[in-house]
């Protein structure tokens, strides 16, 4: 993996953004337990250029570091950091479905009593609006995964569930 990363950095130039397919693949590997969340975060901090989507993945990585930490104080520190990072990413690009989805999925798993799950309704509505307008159009697998997560989250109204089922059927 390090050889591939070196190739991408030199081929694209150090100032170019991280290729989306690599960013999503490494994030998926962390979610599947195939890669360490902290190593992913360090990699992102080193190569991310500040694009809103990269910033959102930094926030998602911070949430995953919190998930994996055993020390409650470290968990709290990273989950707060994640919330702030996600806020910055959404402020920069509020209509991006992928950014909203990353925050929605993070807040979905954070215990409600922490008070860090304040945007679930807003993000759900924005994600559905974006899906209806065709976002993310360039990645059908991501689009399908977002729809399936929303359906499985139990956070959608019956009308939204029907709409998402229809979108899922159209995409297949």
- Placement of tokens 């995409």 in the chain: 171
Q: Going by C-beta distance under 8 Å and a sequence separation of 6 or more, which residues neighbour residue 138?
A: none
Distance between CA atoms of residues 118 and 52, nearest Å: 20
pLDDT in 10s for each residue of the chain, 172 residues: 443 333 333 344 444 789 999 999 999 999 999 999 999 999 999 998 989 999 999 999 999 999 999 999 999 999 999 999 999 999 999 999 999 999 999 999 988 888 888 999 999 999 999 999 988 877 889 999 999 999 999 999 999 999 999 998 876 6
Per CATH, the number for 2-171 is: 1.25.40
The C-alpha atoms of residue 64 and residue 43 are separated, in whole angstroms, by 14
- DSSP class of residue 17 equals P
Burial class (CB in 10 A: 0-12, 13-18, 19+), 7: exposed
Which stretches of the chain are DSSP H helices? 2-12, 20-31, 37-47, 52-68, 72-92, 97-109, 120-132, 140-153, 158-171
CA gap 121, 106 in Å, rounded: 13
Domain extents in the chain: 2-171
Q: How far apart are CA 122 and CA 116, in angstroms?
A: 13
């Amino acid at each position: 993996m390090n050889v591939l990363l070196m190739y991408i950095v030199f081929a694209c130039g150090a100032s170019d953004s991280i290729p989306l397919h690599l960013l999503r693949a490494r994030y998926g590997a962390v979610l599947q337990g195939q890669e360490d969340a902290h190593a992913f975060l360090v990699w992102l901090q080193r190569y991310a250029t500040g694009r809103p989507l990269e910033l959102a993945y930094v926030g998602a990585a911070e949430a995953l570091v919190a998930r994996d930490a055993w020390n409650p104080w470290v968990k709290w520190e990273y989950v707060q950091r994640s919330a702030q990072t996600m806020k910055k990413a959404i402020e920069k690009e509020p209509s991006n479905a992928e950014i909203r989805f990353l925050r929605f999925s993070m807040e979905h798993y954070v215990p409600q009593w922490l008070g860090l799950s304040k945007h679930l309704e807003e993000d759900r509505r924005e994600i559905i609006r974006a899906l209806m307008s065709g976002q993310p159009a360039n990645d059908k697998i991501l689009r399908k995964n977002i729809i399936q997560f929303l359906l499985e989250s139990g956070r959608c109204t019956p009308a939204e569930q029907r709409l998402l089922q229809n979108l899922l059927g159209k995409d297949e």
